[in-house]
Structure 1
């Protein structure tokens, strides 16, 4: 389980990501109902994640967070002690659990989910399903508009640029003297159309 809590000026959020041994990912994002310090948000997130793991009947797992407060240091502020105690009690309910510190870059998904939740405005007892899909738009546009043909708009320029070599080949059949550039131009040219 990866977890991260975050606080912004307009809200606080929690991100929890469960990853199975088969690399199946279960991401969760929660808006925390009260503004708090970042340390409180981190503890809230850890506790939410542990409670979820208990509800899912997970008996052994590894927990990763980028907060050194939760994974390396002892609690020094009195107002955090109840959170520390609750987290400790929850951790004891598992047969085997490790709590480890990771770098922020290794905790990106939980961080993004926490930021998403902290930036959303939801009323009490409201929920929002936000699916995240991987897409890239440019190939779709070229399929619709050009049927997989690349189009270059050419404007007169004072300095030679990469497109000029393609234009010279497409318009006049002229290839550069350099053997490496010749092969590259021949390979790339069929993907372009030249309009005057």
Structure 2
């Protein structure tokens, strides 16, 4: 299970848990969580988006610093790039997991739901 969330301008946190329903790699789960978060932001008609992720691999693939070498990761990357077109502007920041309280809290909730 992966989780994603949106922090609103007033500081409220909108959270969602995503059940994969099949065995998946951590990177694939991270991409799926990001896709779900982008869809949630799109549904809320967000125009300006700040994305914070603790996945260095995924943030580096999105920024073009790293190539997506595996076919499945390249497909997810294309989906992310397509979703990002819906926003007027966005920023993408890689945040170390230890420094990302929101991601840690969401991850803990997702793990609790798995059991």
Relative to the length of structure 2, the TM-score reads 0.83
The corresponding residue for 1:99 is 92
- Residues 1:29 and 2:17 are matched in the alignment: yes
CA RMSD in angstroms, aligned pairs only: 1.8
Matches within 5 A, 1:164-179: none
- Residues 1:38 and 2:18 are matched in the alignment: no
CA distance, structure 2, for counterparts of residue 109 and residue 29 of structure 1 = 13
The corresponding residue for 2:63 is none
Relative to the length of structure 1, the TM-score reads 0.51
Unaligned 5+ segments in structure 1 are: 1-12, 123-196
- Residues 1:56 and 2:44 are matched in the alignment: yes
Q: 1:17 to 1:106 in 2, by over 3 A?
A: farther
List structure 1 segments (4+ residues) > 6 angstroms apart after TM superposition: none
CA distance, structure 2, for counterparts of residue 16 and residue 61 of structure 1 = 14
Asked which structure has the greater CA Rg, the reply is 1
Unaligned 5+ segments in structure 2 are: 61-65
Higher relative contact order (CA 8 A, sep 6+): 2
Q: 1:91 to 1:99 in 2, by over 3 A?
A: same
Q: For residue 113 of structure 1, give the secondary structure of its aligned residue in structure 2.
A: helix
Q: For residue 100 of structure 2, give the secondary structure of its aligned residue in structure 1.
A: helix
- Is 1:31–1:118's contact at 8 Å kept on the other side of the alignment? no
CA distance, structure 2, for counterparts of residue 116 and residue 19 of structure 1 = 16
Decide which structure has greater helix share: 2
Q: How many residues in Structure 1 have an aligned counterpart in Structure 2?
A: 110
> What per-residue deviation string (whole Å, max 9, x for no partner) do you get for residues 73-96 of structure 1?
321112211111000100111100
Q: For residue 19 of structure 2, give the secondary structure of its aligned residue in structure 1.
A: strand
